[in-house]
Amino acid sequence: MIHELSLERQTLHGHFSRDLPPVLEVAPGDSVRFRVLNAGWRWHPDRDFFDERDPELDDGHALVGPITVAGARAGGVLSVRIDELRPHDWGVTFGDGELFSWSLDADAGVARNDAGATVELAPFLGVIGMPPPEPGVFPTGPPRRSGGNIDCKLLVAGTTLFLPIPVDGALVSLGDGHGAQGDGEVSGTAIECPLEQAQVTLDLVEDLELRWPIARTADAWLAFGFNDDLQAAAEHATETMLDLMERELAVTRRHALALASVVVDLRVTQMVNGVKGVHAVLRDDAVRFRDNLA
């Protein structure tokens, strides 16, 4: 079943909290279609979507949700399959305080800025996540074990993100449209843009335990780690990737570590959200065993 969420005040918020009332409940396997404002709460480049926002509750990214998934329980795993992402026709990027405006052509798959540069579009949602289990109001800026502002450029349409569920019901929120971004997001901004249409499919995964989020792309596994310290974030991503390799390749922990040193790439997801991100990448074609040699 596909649910539609309209872009209106009651479906948007700018913080994470387990106490936020859900705007929609879905069954596992259902899809949700929605539109996304840019990180600055704008649909048009020259004005905010709302005249007034609560300075405490709406200070972060404009997020759609929360969405409850029936049967979701704390300690379980939520899968978020990204089905479709179509950017609006404009975006912005800041470079040391200077704003650069972009014209986006979703059909051609390119973006052009006002300084004459052209890049390929690769739209994704910067924020996909759930609230911490503790009471209170939490900012949308830092990524957490339960997701949030992950800002990974590989989470494009066709990718599935797997997140540890922190609270019963999941209460997942999504937003922060990006037209394109490099690993690291070194200026603090991607091509920040609204999305004319986004669709995700939400499901529950049994018999899977996660240290940190993982994702499945068309041709690779990803494992994420987040921490104030980049070294610690890399260690989280590595340990989670070793878990994956033990399960997917049916190897011992020591063999997984030896293989990871040969074929796994550690990439800096982003350096600019206070909590830094690292994602480990294992390509499907990186390792072959005797049993699957042609």
Question: Taking residues 99-127, what's their average pLDDT?
Answer: 97
Residue at which a domain ends, from 161, 176, 205: 205
Residue 125's Cβ-count burial label (10 Å; 0-12, 13-18, 19+) is: buried
- Mean pLDDT, rounded, of the chain: 95
- pLDDT at residue 292 in the model: 57
Residue 241's Cβ-count burial label (10 Å; 0-12, 13-18, 19+) is: buried
Shared domain check, 133 and 35: yes
**Under a CB-based contact definition with an 8 Å cutoff, are residues 118 and 154 in contact?**
no
Q: Any idea what the CATH number is for the domain that residue 199 is in?
A: 2.60.120.580
What range does the domain containing 153 cover?
Answer: 2-205
Number of folded domains in the chain? Answer: 2
Q: Any idea what the CATH number is for the domain that residue 255 is in?
A: 3.10.28.20
Shared domain check, 266 and 201: no
* % of the chain with per-residue pLDDT over 70: 99
* % of the chain with per-residue pLDDT over 90: 91
Shared domain check, 181 and 157: yes
Shared domain check, 222 and 138: no
> Residue 53 — very low, low, confident or very high, per pLDDT cuts 50/70/90?
confident
Shared domain check, 225 and 126: no
Shared domain check, 172 and 146: yes
What are the CB-based long-range contacts (under 8 Å, 24+) for 131-136?
131/16, 131/17, 131/18, 131/20, 131/66, 131/166, 131/167, 131/171, 131/173, 132/16, 132/18, 132/166, 133/18, 133/74, 133/166, 133/167, 134/18, 135/17, 135/18, 135/19, 136/17
- pLDDT at residue 294 in the model: 42
Residue at which a domain ends, from 205, 236, 255: 205
- pLDDT at residue 55 in the model: 79
Shared domain check, 153 and 8: yes
pLDDT beyond 90 at 58 = no
Shared domain check, 141 and 8: yes
Shared domain check, 286 and 175: no
- pLDDT at residue 194 in the model: 97
pLDDT beyond 90 at 48 = no
Shared domain check, 218 and 153: no
Residue at which a domain ends, from 205, 236, 269: 205
Question: Taking residues 3-29, what's their average pLDDT?
Answer: 95
Shared domain check, 17 and 161: yes
pLDDT beyond 80 at 293 = no
Shared domain check, 77 and 191: yes
- pLDDT at residue 184 in the model: 96
